[in-house]
Chains A and B, each alone.
Chain A
Amino acid sequence: QVQLVESGGGVVQPGRSLRLSCAASGFIFRSYGMHWVRQAPGKGLEWVAVISYDGSDKYYADSVKGRFTISRDNSKHTLYLQMNSLRVEDTAVYYCAKGGSGVLDGMDVWGQGTTVTVSS
């Protein structure tokens, strides 16, 4: 069945880096845009970044632009989020989500999330 499984979360000090991964299965990964969305404790959803099906287009939220990089490896059916210069306010559950053929389509499949805690 269609599935997304995130990994790579953990506890990290401010200013350090972390890379999240999202393994996809059950659909033609290379045909769909993919998103990262986060949710801080007790807060709402915040869109983080999106990448087009072929990796040619990438867009970011202002809060992470210049610090986070979204990428994908279609041969490995895997989405990544490289997070640098982490801040306390980056603490959240990070979800990967499957989009549509375009980057503006709805997100119809979500992973269960991986938790990132930034703390000294």
Chain B
Amino acid sequence: SYELTQPPSVSVSPGQTARITCSGDALPKQYAHWYQQKPGQAPVLVIYKDSERPSGIPERFSGSSSGTTVTLTISGVQAADEADYYCHSADSSGTYLVFGGGTRLTVL
């Protein structure tokens, strides 16, 4: 199997920048995607293909990739951004997909 590793939690004050990392051996070869999930709701895609932003997602959400790590950056964090965030990608063969364990973003 294959694993993606995320920090369990990240905390920031309103207006600051939050960075959530996701590490995996196949990330240099495979795109990663990011999802936001609020309690009791279905996940929402916020970044796809490492750094592309779907329509309707605020510009303060951005993504980047460097080697075996991808990063979701939320600039000017707002209280509404408090949620769980998950990365998603595939192994090097492209036949086994996986989610990271999730990161709870707390807005202080």
Q: Is the CB of A106 within 8 A of B48?
A: yes
CA distance A45 to B37 in the complex (A): 10
A70 CB-CB contact with B under 8 Å: no
A41 CB-CB contact with B under 8 Å: no
Which residues from chain A contact B48 at a C-beta distance below 8 Å? 105-106, 108
Interface range for A: 20 to 34
Question: B49: shortest Cβ distance to chain A, in Å?
Answer: 7
Q: Is the CB of A112 within 8 A of B35?
A: no
CA distance A30 to B37 in the complex (A): 27
- Specify which of A62, A95, A110, A112 lies most central, judged by the most chain B CB atoms within 10 Å of its CB: A110
CA distance A59 to B2 in the complex (A): 14
CA distance A112 to B42 in the complex (A): 6
A55 CB-CB contact with B under 8 Å: no
Which residues from chain A contact B47 at a C-beta distance below 8 Å? 106
Q: Is the CB of B88 within 8 A of A47?
A: yes
A46 CB-CB contact with B under 8 Å: yes
Q: A45-B102, A112-B42 are in contact. Are A107 and B88 (CB under 8 A)?
A: yes
Question: A26: shortest Cβ distance to chain B, in Å?
Answer: 15
The interface of chain B, by Cβ under 8 A from chain A, is 1, 30-31, 33, 35, 37, 42-45, 47-49, 54, 84, 86, 88, 90, 94-102
Shortest 8 CB-CB contacts between residues of A and residues of B: A106-B48, A106-B33, A44-B102, A110-B42, A45-B99, A47-B97, A108-B45, A59-B95
Could you name 16 residue pairs across A and B whose Cβ atoms are closer than 8 Å?
A44-B100, A44-B101, A45-B102, A47-B88, A59-B96, A59-B97, A61-B97, A62-B1, A104-B31, A104-B90, A104-B97, A106-B33, A107-B33, A108-B48, A111-B42, A112-B42
